[in-house]
Structure 1
Amino acid sequence: MPWIEPVTNRDYSDIKNAIKMIDSRKKSSTAEYSMTKAFVNYSDLNRIEGNSKYLSEILGTTGTFKSTWTTSEVPLITDMSRILSNARAIRTKFLLEYPSQTISNVPQKLTTFSEFNLIEKVLLEIYLYISEIPVIEYDETKIAVMEISTQEIQYFSNISSAKAEMQNHTDKLYHMHIGDEVSFQNNMLSGLSGTTNLVTIDISDEIETIGISAFEGCTALERITIPDSVTRIRTRAFKDCTSLDIISFGTGLVQLGDDNLGVPVYGCFSGSAISRLIIPENVTDIGSYAFYHCENLSAIQFNQKLERIGAGAFNYCGLVSISIPDTVTSIESNNSGGGAFAGNKALEYIKFPKYLEEIEQGTCAGCTALETVVMPENLLKIGIGAFSGCHAITAVQIPDSVTIIGESAFNSCYGLQTVHLPESLLELSNGTGFFGEGTFDDCYSLQEITIPTNTRIIGSNCFIMSYHQSYTPSLKKITVKNRKKSIAGDPWGATDFVSTEYAETHDVPDNKYTVTWAGASANPDLSDADRIILCELDVNGYITRIDKSIDWISAKNTMATYSNIDFGIFMTNQAPVHTIPEECFKDMANLIWIEIPSKFTEIGLNAFSGCQNLEYIEIAHHKGEILGEPWGASAETEIYYAAELTTENGDILDTASSQMTARVTDNTQTINTMLSGISAETPVNPVSKTLYVLKQGGAFELKLGAKERSWGNGL
């Protein structure tokens, strides 16, 4: 369809004429109404759609066009939206091809005469410019090289010959046209690297891959259109094309760049001059360092099919705002700190995708202007140095799902004032890596921080503050929602001016033996246990779950596996041995208490060495009967012996009972069952501070912490 002269000058006089025609109640024909510019009729729609299609074919945009409107048809809202979308695509593509031109903006809607004037004006402006461009007919069987100033054309049969011609005349600038009938091995274009006087190029629709270093170092290349046939652009394809600002991608592109080629910092467009970027609709993978050091790149629009962003993909760009679609599940890094968005010094805002589980090492390191970070609600880990050097961040809300925050994750965030750490957090700044230790080191504006209940590991320099001539450390208080000594390394690099406050150290709780047995609906009698009862404890020391362990090796392995959980241990008289071996529970930092029955007569050297949180040991023997106290335990570990327990009138209870493993709940029936046949002279667990049987006034009395129940002589 040829170009049709548009209407761009509808005005209020046209409206008045139309109203006058209606008021006269004249039975006008459809043709007469269609001549009135105030009405947008079928002829207007056909003209706008026809002109849009005409320009679309020249510029190579995609769209749906209808140029067969009839007098009986009424356009719907969806039709108007489609017409606007086509016009925007044409305008965008034109400005990509001819960035120095100025074109009016497409209207936001089509409801008034002025808006219809404007959309036709946009199409007209584009047409007037394009119509002045001479059309050159090329020989499609060859490669054409045109000297731009003279438009002199030479033809070649292969890329190497065409490249040689251009390199022989470095004082001239060239345009290259690759004919659609020129064949390439594996349909891959390559071999133009270092052609410093190539300005523009037309790529054949037969090309499927832009090869490694295809245009690397083509410093005069200004713009390029990737045809729909291309599915992959390989690493270094346009590296150091320092004039390349306009890239128009085809719809067939799936992958940008490569990985694991041994050249870690050379991506497909690294070092180019591109300033804005729309990731094509079918791209699922952006390779490592794809746009590395594209310092002019200030705006990016991702598609809704993207799945992966490689390490360093947007290192050292000029991006200001980033919203990553929820389809992305992997944003990668590498061991040298190559975070995907590191070094974007203009970046102010970033939103991570909904299903991302880890913000990897150095992802936003060095983004000095970053103020707002939106993390996904299912995030599990924040990697080493993820936000290191983000000076402008003032507040961080860590999602309630995060379990690990790596070392240096927020180091040198000079403006960081408040941090919410979730109860799910297990580790802060554990291990060593590229950035060194210290999750919050040099966070000079941070005044106080609360360590959650479940946190068990904090790096040694987590809160260290080094000297800075412009900043004075503000940290005054660290609150730990756990017991004293529950986390090693206090105060984790903080200065002497920082106070550390812990939750109260809990005595043996009143309902310590109220338990939930794994797989059972009721609390069982533990006296049938084999050797060791392993108890999982909550932060207050209350038992939340009990499991049988065959021996101390399996118990120790369980504690090591679940280092974030506190444990208590009952050892039973059913054990086939009577000695606790040397270093048996060594370095079990999550062992809180242990109770040892009368069967055991020996405790090996350093059995409890390194059990830094061990609060007490109960032993069913008199003091001095087992040698070697405290068997490697620290001076702060309390040791209770059988002889230390007394009756209400001050009598010391006699030797320990073999009923050491009988543990009860505050339940009358269970207690009655467990006390059946036990006399006052043979008390249940005589070494426990909370559970014993006394004879008083002819009746037995059971004391369970602060709770008391009495029974008659019939027991």
Structure 2
Amino acid sequence: MLPASLLSIGDEAFSGCENLGYVVIGDGVKTIGQQAFYNCNHMLELSLGWDLETVGDKAFQGCIMLSQIIKLPDNVKSVGTYSFADCTLLKGIHIGKSLETIGLVAFSNCRDLLTVTVDEENPNFTAVDNILYTKDMTSVELCPTARADAYEMPASVTGVAPGAFFMCGSVPSVTLSDNVTEIGDWAFAMCETLPELKLPASLVRLGDHAFDMCTSVKSVSIGDKLEYVGKYAFNGLALVENFDIPSTVSHIGASAFAGCIAMKSLAIPEGVTAVEDATFQNCTALQSITIPESVTSIGDFAFQFCMKLPEINLPDAVTTIGQSALYACVGLKELTLPSELTYIGPWGIAGCPELKKITCGDKLQMVDYHAFDYLSSLTEINLPNSLVIISKNAFEGCSKLTEINLGTSLETIDEGAFINCSGLKSLHFHDALTFIGAEAFKGCRAITAVTSDAAVPPVIDNDNAFVATVYNKAQLAVPAESLDAYKEAESWKKFVNITAQSSAIGEIGADIDDSDAAPVYYNMNGIRVDNPAPGLYIVKRGTKVNKEYVTRP
């Protein structure tokens, strides 16, 4: 028994005290802090004092031996999130006169919880047939986890509170009121015995995780007023083959249909602006998806492991494709990327072994790391002139790619970008290129011709962008005025066969007077030098490039 003089019990005060068996909270205590008795897993009996007003989050979570009916004293106003969660033997809960708020899933996983009663003088709550409602009977607040009877919702109910039926795994069926407009977060999550979902025509908002992991559901019907589908709303409904989403829906949250492994087709309504993260992840039977023109982004993992999807038409308005968005869509054979697309995320279109052709729009700027990783059948891709960066390992293992247009604006080819692209035969670097990462073309032994238009040799990291076979046998063609610079630049000088090509810059310079242009200095390795010391440099004035000896700073 705690001292009578005690006014509050602090956060984690007795957390994990396994030897506590009988706990009597004195009448003077007004507050029990967060996790105060968390995981006191040998607590057998609990008595709460009459002056108690607040029970904190997780205060008694995990007290697995409590097997009584908890009586909340009349002064208790709030019970926190997870406050009695995982008290698996708890039999019931009695709510006193003053309770105003109950935290999310306060009694979740109380597997033996069967009775819920409320003091008649409580102005906020009432209980009917051991179901907790708001006093006016407009919202269902709590169904005891051990309930094994079917439930028919009163017509007065317009909302289902967050977590109201969470983990009610024995309820065989639920009939929703025709007046329900909102189903809260986690409301029916893990109700594992529900056979079907009939969502009323009145429903407007479906909260996050609303029916998450309701694994026995075989069919879902949705009314024509629904506007909002929260994240994970239908996650893991593995037996449902069809979802008919009404045209009124304007938002579909992340992972909303993830793990719906029987779903074969779905049409996203016009007005939805994003396919959010993991929305259709692991929809392994999905064969048809309709994406409206209103969509502007495809989130991370959006269609990951949609292995039976033979094609996907991405709207032209899409500007970004996120990480692993189309990863392991092994049924794809051709893909046309949106005209407005500027960015493809890491592993964005990787692991699609049957994909042979990719058509890019003309605004793509960045291909992130491993974006096209191991597209082992890819033979054709048209990288646009807008492309600036090819990141690490972007095309790793694209072994059937024999040629690729790298685009005139490309500045960076990062480490391992084309590693093991063993079919590549030729490369053409344009004059915007300034950097090639280490092992960028490792394993590309078939390369026989390399052309570089860059007047200043691009920097090559770690001196090993190409394999020895390429350095020894491939022909390197460079601007005539930069021939000596390439022969002296690190890594480039390892090419045995370096020849001059006609210089577009030199031709332009013949007709333009660049004598007044400010000089830009580069050392013989192609690295820009802002304050050159005396010595030999590559000097660029406007469109003209020459080697000059600087005699003084």
Higher strand share: 2
TM-score under structure 1 length normalisation:
0.39
Q: TM-score, normalised by structure 2?
A: 0.49
Structure showing greater Rg: 1
